């Protein structure tokens, strides 16, 4: 397991809305995987080619409205037979595990033992972001991922202590957790979350 330095779990509420990844780096990776030129990406996003170039180089920040437009292209979705096989493996696991979009934290798949922890019915949570239920420790770990290179290339799984929240809907109890980053068939990225 890759050891990522321990981080302070005292995180301000504003940090929950901060981006845990570089939109420019994500855009570049998305284009490279799909062999899309900057000019075509610019047309898709309704901006100029030079804007895409500045985003990718980090010279220009992506505005909130622009981010909403482009995140839809980056969000993980289960599209292929291999992706659906992964969904079945997670869903039929006897361990408490779930699969989320690495970017948006939308729930993509969930085992029965994990679903049993939730007060809300699983169908109500599928496709919904679990980020609002994150503990301070999870938020802090998420913020440390960018510096560790998590979003830029393949990295080993990481393990950490989750802390606990006060949510009845999606409770998180103090436990040890493992995150594993998985690239789906369309190049988008999911995260397997296991309780150890």
What CATH number is associated with residue 136?
3.30.450.20
Domain range for 65 is 14-74
Percent of the chain scored above 70 by pLDDT? 87
Determine if the pTM surpasses 0.75: no
Instruction: Give me the pLDDT at residue 19, please.
Output: 55
Examine the domain organization and report whether 46 and 97 are in the same domain: no
pLDDT tens-place string over residues 28-80? 877 887 788 999 999 988 899 999 999 988 888 888 888 878 777 777 888 88
Name the pLDDT band for 1 (thresholds 50, 70, 90). very low
First to last CA, the chain: 13
Q: In the predicted model, is pLDDT for residue 14 greater than 70?
A: no
Residue 8 belongs to some domain of the structure:
no
Tally the domains of the chain.
2
Q: Are residues 106 and 188 in the same domain?
A: yes
Residue 1, in any domain of the structure = no
Mean pLDDT for the chain overall: 83
Task: Considering only residues 161 and 148, tell me which one the structure prediction assigns the higher pLDDT.
Answer: 161
What's CA 33's distance to the chain center, in Å? Answer: 18
Residue after which a domain boundary falls, among 74, 99, 126: 74
Signed CA dihedral, 32, 131, 69, 62: sign only: negative
- DSSP conformational letter for 15: G
Where in the chain does DSSP place strands (E)?
97-101, 107-110, 158-161, 176-183, 189-195
Show the tokens assigned to 182.
């998985």
Residues 26 and 89 in one domain: no
**pLDDT in the model for residue 21:** 62
Same domain, 65 and 98: no
């Amino acid at each position: 397991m890759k050891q990522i330095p321990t981080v302070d779990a005292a995180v301000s509420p504003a940090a929950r809305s901060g981006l845990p990844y570089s939109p420019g780096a994500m855009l570049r990776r998305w284009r490279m995987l799909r062999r899309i030129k900057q000019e075509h990406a610019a047309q898709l996003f309704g901006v100029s080619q030079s804007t895409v170039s500045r985003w990718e180089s980090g010279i220009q920040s992506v505005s909130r409205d622009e981010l909403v437009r482009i995140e839809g292209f980056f969000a993980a979705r289960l599209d292929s037979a291999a992706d659906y096989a992964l969904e079945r493996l997670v869903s039929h696991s006897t361990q408490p595990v779930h699969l989320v979009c690495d970017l948006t934290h939308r729930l993509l798949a969930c085992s029965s033992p994990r679903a049993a922890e939730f007060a809300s019915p699983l169908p109500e949570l599928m496709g919904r972001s679990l980020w609002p239920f994150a503990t301070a420790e999870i938020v802090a770990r998420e913020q440390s991922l960018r510096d560790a290179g998590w979003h830029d290339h393949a990295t080993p799984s990481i393990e950490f202590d989750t802390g606990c929240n006060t949510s009845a809907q999606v409770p998180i109890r103090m436990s040890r957790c493992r995150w594993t980053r998985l690239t789906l068939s369309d190049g988008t990225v999911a995260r397997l979350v296991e309780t150890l």
